[in-house]
Structure 1
């Protein structure tokens, strides 16, 4: 994830107390329930989500990273989705391959090494583990289908982020097709195992129109005044931990989302115990972390 630059962040934090809307007003602004979407929080404390898998301990967005999260006892993981030249969806945070693979060595004449300029078969040749630690040499970039199957095999749950959808027209429908193929759009998965998030308001609106039953989170820090509108198409506001306050969290949770349930907030990327305790003190519903074990120890949540 990256921070959403914006005046919206400043607006959200300036005068939050003065901008807080009464609960009754907020509820009236949001639509009535159109289907049951169950909150993912499974304990009294904030849910702990392993960011890009347990990415402080294994190469991010790989099967090794979600296996590591599983071995550490974390049921919720987060990932990032991009699209290849030939239309395959792969798990990759950046829109180019340089940082987390050996693409410059394998394809030295293909700068700037954008994901969208390579086929799935070409990306499958890359080493996505050596940059992190030599013991992960040979680790591959998984396709979304491979990733979903492994999450299912691990009995895990997923916060799925579609990265830069403006670069990939139609990626929302493509992602839905993979989720359907891998069994992730049945009632059991949609009800309690899946959250779809993005920094793109337009993309979130598209997903809501296509599958209103899927739980969705907007990545960013909209102003309190903007929250009633967001509450018409997302169930969560997922903000960087440095942009939130107790008042802002309370303002979010005073709203009701498109399924008639209180809005939630997951905050990211929290890797220090002090930051985790502060966020938990604000009352956030979830904390996304590269070091989920540090957060778990700090807030006493066993996921």
Structure 2
């Protein structure tokens, strides 16, 4: 998520974002109390491993965090892959492997070509050889780790029909059964129309909008979004209260999760606002701050 994207989303009807819990996994450190905001590992434990890779969600699991967040985009041949940027340049060696393919957009490469790229050494030599996972590969690892997922559809305007394709992959991998839909999955986007589409196709799925709509706009968002995920720099005690005063499409109070919170000071500040969740690159730092509060 980027703050500039949030600023672009204050147009009339956008969607809402998601917040989810964190619990222990694999005998890792105990989860924070349910009295605290929920903690979500942003792109996995992305301060300790390369974002959106299997290594990042494995690291989150080892730290004891059950909920992870990721980003989904589409390749030239219609495969869904987990990567944040619409360009491959920041987090892979695409410019070395394919020097004549500028501007190196995800949509201009096949899944097989992307699978050749190193998505780890930019972060640390320790992760040399990490790959950009397909959504199918990612979901298999999330299942293996007994994790839960906040899935962000990135740049849907670039990929018409990506909502239906995402749901198809989730269904094929067993993620649209009642148990997972009820408590293990959220789909979110900065794009309101994308969230509306998901809600129309599968009204049972929890959905979220990324941004900070005005208080006056919130009732419209609450028709199709269960949560609003706002940048921590854009919210206040009053704004959080305005969100909680509304019911979402499933008849439950609208929720708010805030991003990207990486310091103890910011953690304590947003916890004081009463947010439902915290999305963070440093879930261990956030957990410790909440325990000290």
Q: Distance in 1 between matches of 2:8 and 2:123?
A: 32
Deviations 1:218-276 (Å, cap 9, x if unpaired)?
00000000111100000000000000000000100110000100000010000011001
Question: Unpaired segments of 5 or more residues in structure 2?
Answer: 12-18, 23-33
8 Å CA contact retained: 2:20, 2:39: no
**Pairs within 5 Å for 1:1-303:** 1-3=1-3, 4-6=6-8, 8=10, 40-41=20-21, 43-300=34-291
CA-based RMSD? 1.5
**Offset of residue 44 of structure 1:** 1.3
Q: Distance in 1 between matches of 2:20 and 2:204?
A: 14
TM (norm. structure 1) is 0.88
Q: Distance in 1 between matches of 2:233 and 2:8?
A: 14
Secondary structure of the equivalent of 1:228?
Answer: helix
Q: 1:41–1:7: structure 2 CA closer, same or farther, 3 Å change rule? A: closer
**Offset of residue 300 of structure 1:** 2.1
**Offset of residue 8 of structure 1:** 3.7
Q: How many residues align?
A: 273
Larger Rg: 1
8 Å CA contact retained: 2:9, 2:212: no
8 Å CA contact retained: 1:41, 1:285: no
